[in-house]
Chains A and B, each alone.
Chain A
Amino acid sequence: MLTSKTFVKKTKRGRIIKIVREHYLRDDITCGSESCQICDPFDFGQPLVAEPENKSRLCLTPHYIIPDTNVVLHQMDVMEDSSVQNVVILQTVLDEVRHRSSPGYKRLKSMLANPSKHFFTFCNEFNKNTYVERQKGESSNDRNDRAIREATSWYQDHLRSEGQSDLIIDVVLLTNDADNRRKAIQQGLKAFTVHEYVKSLENCGHLVDLLSQSQMSVHSQDRLMFPEHLPLSEIQRGIKAGRYFQGSFMASRENYLEANVSVHNKDEMVFIQGHMNQNRAVHSDVVAIEMLPEEEWSCPSSMVLEESSEKIVEDSMETEDEAIKRKKIPKELRQPTGRIVGIIKRNWRQYCGILRPSAVKEGTRHIVVPAEKKIPKIRIETRQAADLITQRIVVAIDNWPRNSRYPQGHFVRKLGNIGDKDTENEVLLLEHDVPHSNFSEAVLACLPKLPWIITDEDYKRRRDLRHIDICSVDPPGCTDIDDALHCRELENGNLEIGVHIADVSHFIRPGTAIDKEAAERGTTVYLTDRRIDMVPELLSSNLCSLRSNVERFAFSILWEMTHDADVVGTSFTKSVIKSKAAFTYAEAQMKIDDTAQNDSLTRSLRHLNRLAKILKQRRVDAGALTLASPEIRFHIDSETHEPIDVQAKQIMETNSMVEEFMLLANVASAKKTLEEFPDCACLRRHPAPPPSNFEPVIKAALSKGFNIDVSKGKALADSLQSAVVPSDPYFNTMLRIMTTRCMMQAVYFCSGMIPETEYFHYGLAAGIYTHFTSPIRRFSDIIVHRLLAVCIGADASYPSLTEKHKTQVVCNNLNYRHKMAQYAGRASVNLHTHIFFKNRTTNEEGYVLFVRQNALQVLIPKYGLEGTLYLSDGKTKSKPRFTYNEEANTQTCGSVTFHVFDQVIIELSIDQSNVQHLKLCLKLVKPEIPGFSVPAHSSEDSEPPKKKQKKGQTKK
């Protein structure tokens, strides 16, 4: 098997040391072709079909395709197209792709794993016939090119050699490197550029659009030139010397001329302003920056600047940059400002967007406006413009030449008509990277077979709690019930509280396809009109859901408590339960309040409610924050699926009751798992925000005469509690909303990875915390369940459960998915708001949340909605001038001055001037400013019959 070995010498940076490595060359590597009579086939059959059908005018015989590295990297979309089949990916190519682009490598690997693509990896580096040694003076690139040619030539000979079947199969080398192509042709190989080849294919018009436009010529009239990016070696030297800094580029959502770079190992953000300074960086790229001299430092303009889509601003870049420079920034406002000197790593992905109507209808060059405002417009080339103009499309960026204002890209696929709700949902799922395809066959195969029955064996291994009166309390319409509660009096006078959580880990076994899928999805995503499940519906809404009057598996935590809510004992057990009722919050509230009812369920609810209040008080005393964020609820028409009413969510006592016990359960499980697994418990922490984060709140509260103490969580909670303006009940809520925005993100982590002092959960004022109570919709809870099950000996451990690095990797993914799910949820709300207001214009009460240089940020409590009220857009001269006072944070126009927290009346409507991009439009009604405000809308929109819940709220 081992044929021979050669020595490979490598040198490393820094000290030159010679590393000698063995390299075994083999003669047992198959060529992967079905027609081959010589090589040993795989057990599962050869990947390359015997009669490949790549119909090309350039090569009429059946053939396999061998692309070189750059073709694979740059033409990934072509490669991914289902019509491209029977491709040989050489090991040399695979290795180079791996080194150069990890997302590219991932995509390539998934192509290779897809049997219908007939892709095959040929290990040419380990084959004794195709291995080439680097020659003296040859660069590694040249050597790799030679290796690719060598392998191609071997294939050609091999497929024609004696003993093969009569049908001759050719190989075609695809390379865009002219030199490589020339040498290949000299060697007698068939070699083409991708462009030549793709264009020669029959019926592959759509493939041409997918071609990456690496050589697209740019408008010659573009005089402007971006500064050149420094080569990587120079950047590294610069970073070492401290001249440059590495960081990730974060474009501003509000102003396309502004961006920040979060420099590694530095707390402070570096501000980047203007086209030239941004120098072709795209959001989320890893960049190298150089600090500007202090006198050129600048600050965010607090302007909300959107590139208007109508104006063609091809050559106004310099003017825009000039305009910025002219503005003098007062010294005290200046922030560290820098400019980008080079790109260390592009993090381009595929972007959703719409085609901007081109002046020349028949032209092939078009501009795509991405849905994400942080992404610049992308220039693509397509012949289907007329088709695409009404569509949401996906595009990819290929490159960004120095002399082009916009990056260049290519069309990938279309999503559907603009404005179509499904299409819009698709866009926001794609933009937030939410995996939402249907569950694969492999995943569905992991589901238990129906009818699912509980066996005697199951009863033996679980505690039987079916006789206990357990109920669940959830929002209306909830089908994935993952928690249920009970409370009963014990003989010794204490209370037994039980929290029963759906035992999802019973169904999702580690290492199975369903486990991997759930870990990848991380969380269930709730859109306004759609739920993207983490686990298939059979589990989420049926077998795991703790519905009433059916027997279900649960993971129970049982406490023995005194009537003063002091915990006497805690135990964890796997159980079988039978919930007696599934209440909504309102129903539960009614039961508690209705003195006529006195059955055991009601009594248990009352106990729970009373204990919850004690627990909550303790928590608040410990410094837990009560924060607020406006949440709204849409009433969706059951027929049209159009939203018919919007209102802010109602919070009832029962909400808080359930929440308290969930918190208790979470803390208990965090303690238990950490005790047992100090190194690999999956916990959740919430870092304390730096005091600077609170500045806007402090400033705003001060304007109303309140002092907010942010030194400690407890102090903050207390000062928020006391900041009440009797005349303005909403003031306190607003303050809490603002405080919420100052908070850091809570994150999952693995206990072995960070020091113990950082386990703290700031918002809950808990020493340690985790998520245990919603395993149906969060993967973190499944991990916690598994860990707990091992703790109590109910389940076996498995390898990756106790590996802290693997757990941390899972946690990182969960954090990312969690964040994206939140964003997607918000985006969905936005989308529905737009649809809701599409045919409506209403006047609503609002509050000023922030004052900006040219706008007011207004919150409308009724809808929990936030919008921007532009004060002057510079278009119409006749409008009254507003004066912005930066110190006091006010806008003044004549006698009217806007402060933060000021109440205003706003007219809400949808700006339909741009059909493709609906915008919520706010207009001022009160206070009246002549020439700016609009008259009050006469007919108040039809008030829907609402506030059924009011009754529950007023009583206690």
Chain B
Amino acid sequence: MIITHLNLGILLTRIWRSMVDVRIAGARSSTKPNVSAEISNLVTPGDVITADTGFMRGHGTYMEDEKLYASVAGVVERVNKLICVKPLKTRYNGEIGDVVIGRILEVGTRRWKVDTHAKLDSVLMLSSVNLPGGELRRRSEEDEKMMRHYLKEGDLISAEVQSLFSDGALSLHTRSLKYGKLSQGQLVSISPSLIKRRKTHFHNLPCGASIILGNNGYVWICPTINEEVEQTGGYEQNLEPIQKSDREVIARLRNCVLALAEHKMMLYDTSVLYTFEASLRYSVKETVKPEVMADIIEVAQQRLEREGT
């Protein structure tokens, strides 16, 4: 047998420097800070949380042999007698009143199916939407026939969680002028757990764009909405061309949102805005680079801490 001892480990890469900036994942310096000591009350699936029977079983836990076990990896949270484990990442668990962004998947009889990044598709009943020409009108057969005319497959909407079905599916409504069909803008999808719950999730940012931070992790960025004119709750789309400057702002915002998500920062108006402002030192193109992202985030984070928001 011929045995040759040679080192393996040549990765063939070609780098087109002039055109695209390509880098190997492994060559990237780790942008994450080296892990601090393990945090307390951290559990992983199968861990016993408590053998005390006086507690109630919450999300991320299960009972067996009178013991409470964790079923996901995360931090134990206790609210009175209720014990939950919140995983880092999960599908969107809807709560009534949440603002969500969704995409129409299907037009059915008297209802639309909407993707909201939940475990099951959400439902938007025909009866839960504002129809043109008055809020309190009966839904007629005509309306059923017109459903696809109002919202068709692929359309994006903003909505609010109205109720939960027994299997966990969400029922949405758009019975407010805030909600309704979205026209031009950009959708970014991040982990739902990164969206901070606020009074309002609709923000007109001073930088010249609007942002809707859906509780389901979908973030909508669009040109500034003129409230009087455009909050129609209607079904018209404004398809006028958007100016290049606005588009740049939107693109920059998008990169900022992604940067925040990448660094597991919570998203809310201030954090987005600070990040945006921190990014102004760079061109939009540069902000997708990991090291630039890290830099921006660091600046924004420092500012947030300083100002104590």
Contact = CB atoms under 8 A, between A and B. Distances in A.
Interface of A: 6-11, 20, 99, 132-134, 136, 140, 143
A9 B5 contact: yes
Could you say which of A8, A132, A143 has the most chain B C-beta atoms within 10 Å of its C-beta?
A: A8
Nearest to B7: A7
Given A7-B7, A10-B3, A140-B2, 6 more contacts: A10-B2, A11-B2, A134-B4, A134-B6, A136-B6, A140-B4
Contacts of A143: 5
B136 interface: no
Contacts of A7: 6-9
B1 interface: yes
A752 B4 CA distance: 40
Contacts of A11: 2, 4
Interface in B1-37: 1-9
A352 B67 CA distance: 78
Could you say which of B4, B5, B7, B8 has the most chain A C-beta atoms within 10 Å of its C-beta?
A: B5
A9 B1 contact: no
Contacts of B6: 7-9, 133-134, 136
Contacts of A10: 1-4
Nearest to B6: A9
Which 8 A-B pairs have CB atoms at the shortest separation, nearest pair first? Answer: A134-B5, A133-B5, A7-B8, A9-B6, A140-B3, A8-B5, A9-B4, A134-B4
Interface of B: 1-9
Interface SS of chain B: loop
Contacts of A8: 3-6
Nearest to A132: B5
B149 to A, nearest CB: 61
Nearest to B8: A7
A134 B3 contact: yes
Contacts of A99: 1
Contacts of A6: 5, 7
28 contacts: A6-B7, A7-B6, A7-B7, A7-B8, A7-B9, A8-B4, A8-B5, A8-B6, A9-B4, A9-B5, A9-B8, A10-B1, A10-B3, A10-B4, A11-B2, A11-B4, A99-B1, A132-B5, A133-B6, A133-B7, A134-B3, A134-B4, A134-B5, A134-B6, A136-B6, A140-B2, A140-B3, A140-B4
Contacts of B5: 6, 8-9, 132-134, 143
Contacts of A136: 6
A7 B4 CA distance: 10
A9 B10 CA distance: 13
Nearest to A140: B3
A10 B8 CA distance: 11
Contacts of B4: 8-11, 134, 140
Contacts of B2: 10-11, 140
Contacts of B1: 10, 99
A99 B1 CA distance: 9
A538 to B, nearest CB: 48
A20 B3 contact: no
B12 to A, nearest CB: 14
A231 B4 CA distance: 22
Nearest to A143: B5
B8 to A, nearest CB: 4
Contacts of A134: 3-6
B272 to A, nearest CB: 46
Contact of B8 (A20, A132, A140): A20
Contacts of A20: 8
A143 B8 CA distance: 18
Contacts of B3: 8, 10, 134, 140
A870 to B, nearest CB: 53
A116 B7 CA distance: 42
A294 to B, nearest CB: 40
A124 to B, nearest CB: 14
Nearest to A9: B6
A439 B2 CA distance: 43
Contacts of A140: 2-4
Contacts of A133: 5-7
Nearest to A10: B3
B2 to A, nearest CB: 6
Nearest to A23: B5
A137 to B, nearest CB: 10
Contacts of B7: 6-7, 133
A99 B3 CA distance: 13
Nearest to A11: B2
B1 to A, nearest CB: 7
Contacts of B9: 7
Nearest to A144: B3
A920 B247 CA distance: 116
A135 to B, nearest CB: 8
A143 B3 CA distance: 10
B239 to A, nearest CB: 57
A6 B8 CA distance: 9
A283 to B, nearest CB: 29
B309 to A, nearest CB: 48
A136 B4 CA distance: 9
A717 B8 CA distance: 71
A20 B2 CA distance: 14
B114 to A, nearest CB: 49
A136 B7 CA distance: 10
A132 B4 CA distance: 11
A866 to B, nearest CB: 50
A133 B6 CA distance: 7
A10 B7 CA distance: 11
Nearest to A20: B8
Contacts of A9: 4-6, 8
A154 to B, nearest CB: 18
A134 B9 CA distance: 16
A191 to B, nearest CB: 24
B278 to A, nearest CB: 42
Nearest to A134: B5
A325 B2 CA distance: 44
A144 to B, nearest CB: 9
B4 to A, nearest CB: 6
B3 to A, nearest CB: 6
A140 B2 CA distance: 7
Nearest to B5: A134
A908 B5 CA distance: 70
A68 B1 CA distance: 19
A147 to B, nearest CB: 10
Contacts of A132: 5
A912 B3 CA distance: 60
B6 to A, nearest CB: 5
A143 B5 CA distance: 9
A870 B6 CA distance: 68
A140 B1 CA distance: 10
A4 to B, nearest CB: 12
Nearest to A13: B2
B111 to A, nearest CB: 56
A11 B1 CA distance: 9
A140 B9 CA distance: 22
A134 B2 CA distance: 12
A99 B5 CA distance: 18
